[in-house]
Amino acid sequence: MPPLRQDVARPVAAVLLLALAALHFQAVPGGFGTESYLGVFLILAVITALAGVAAFLLDDRDRVWWYALAQGAANPLGYLCNRLTGLPLAGDVPERWYGARAGWSLVFLGVLLFVLALGVLIARHRRRRLPQPVLSADDRDLLSIPRPGRSGR
């Protein structure tokens, strides 16, 4: 299987995070209508997703992909835990603030983001473990950006 191209994976991850932010944003009025703390948490979810979009537009280090991996895992896990146990004072029916289909869209987008970030991180790990010559610009893109050296003197 060919490695994921970085010029394709970064914009796809940014669009997935933007779609997650849009889903959370459209649920804000319903969240405030159900319980005020839900609305606040949904606003925080929008901010964190938009921060991920900004990070992907500015940087391509592994930590951005780890952030996307965590964001992709947190959304479906949060939705499924809500369906199983419910939220305090809000019950276990997230359709009240997300809508009928938006909840499962949240799970789907989160899983897609998780799989994409995991694929990129695995490809980068394999690339670092097996040193190979850089033969093209795509190979160079798989290498992480070296951190600036710090002089302790």
pLDDT in tens, 73-121: 998 888 887 777 777 766 656 565 566 677 788 889 999 999 999 999 9
> Cα separation of 24 and 13, whole Å?
17
Structure pTM?
0.78
pLDDT in tens, 15-74: 999 999 999 998 888 888 878 888 898 999 999 999 999 999 998 888 999 999 999 999
CA distances from 107 to 54, 64, 114, 147 (A): 22, 21, 10, 35
